[in-house]
Chain A
Amino acid sequence: MNLLETAKLTKYFGDTHAVDKVDFTIGEGEVLSLIGSNGAGKTSLVNLISGLILPDSGQIRFRGEDITKENVHARIKAGIARSFQIVNLFDELTLLDNVALSIFSREGMTRRLFSLADRQQAVWQEAHDILRQFGLELKAEVLAGGISQGERKLLDVAVAYALKPRLLFLDEPTSGVSTREKAPIMDVISSIVRAQKITAVVIEHDMDIIFKYSDRIVVMHQGEILASGAPEAIRNDERVKDAVFGPTHA
């Protein structure tokens, strides 16, 4: 059974067909990459599924339930989380606080006005564990605004991961970091996602990363799905070569 399905999902911004009648599926446990040139509709599709924007028409079903009109909060409760292309963190809070906030929210504890956050040992322990998994433990007490871009990217994913999602969207998890840092970041993310059997959708422009870490690749072009298949099939697809890689791509 598919974890997520969209049916004729559509979003127009004026005359621009950002997402045009897209039928998209993700299987349970899959690590899927979404590729396409700039403006192809990748981020718009993720924004629609995660609830940042609402579709003009079409349907989104998650674990068999129609979530098309649900708000962000309901989608998170259902098990959808995301990281962002431009990192979204709580810059004036520590790394530990950033992750702990996700856990507090996940457990419905942020509604508590008269209990000390510091007394919730289980939350802080879990936050430390998550930072350790992401290799950020040594900077637990550093403010999120004071770490490197690569670390910020990892923390952004860690904050989403702390929600214990079933489906995790990773919007360009290595954008803005040096070439040398990209593989280690993806190694960390990939190992955690696969170990926890989280279904993940990765949006990326770096094709080496895409082909190395994906089970399946979905190619978008001008708001539509151009192709979908295993990495090798996509690599050899003539339409994809023309639309995404360009004629000179080997």
Chain B
Amino acid sequence: MSAAAPLPASDDVPRPQVDDVPLLEVESISKTFGNVTAIRDVSMRVRAGEVVCVLGDNGAGKSTLIKTLAGVHQPTTGRYLVRGQEVQLASPRDALSHGIATVYQDLAMIPLLSISRNFFLGSEPTTGVGPFRRYDVRKADRVAREELAKMGITIRDTSQPVGTLSGGERQSVAIARAVYFGARVLILDEPTSALGVRQAGVVLRYIVQARERGCGVIFITHNPHHAYPVGDRFTILNQGRSEGTWDKADISREELVQRMSGGTELAQLEHELRGVDADGSRS
């Protein structure tokens, strides 16, 4: 039951409605550190070709949730299922072998390393045998260029350092890399939060691109305006609990913003600010 069946094995099992089986599903997982409960009773799932957004303010438990999904932490309670099979992930490497890749906001790329070397870092293609086995520069350059082209990024010189790319492009290269190395589920940790409006747009487009290619995407953000255009479903986290999950059809952008920022608090704040403004104009 709890055996961590590798992906190919589960392919052999005949499955009537394979598209309906979530690529990744967690059932009421909790994670406690000592006597601090970071997340409590969170359930969510992502299917192929679907973007699920996890929204939450700072301290809502987003990073614990990401790390649990990514295999860094093991859930204290609850079930973790990959394509309907319960698994226990021992490490991020283990998650990767199940097709679950995580792209971290600031750890995505090494700025001084070239694009193709970044793309293949840790999984370099080689050619030749024995002591003459060497890094296949040509293949690395070609594949990196092709894969980026599939994501709509045209790069002539893949030997330029990643640092010459814009922030949005860097995140996109990381996404392309994860997809190339067989990721079925992409977990994106705040990929847009450090970016300007235009660059965030670039990344959002690649998220859609990855979805079109059949990936399941879990998009973690604190920005409902980034989440709404690309998301199919929205889960809001607050103080380690899930406040609920909505399909796009069931929630408007305004409502999402409201719920996300704790609705009444924001209304209260707006009210107070209006008061300050009124005071200011009076004196």
Q: Do A and B bind each other?
A: no
A residues apposed to B, CB below 8 Å: none
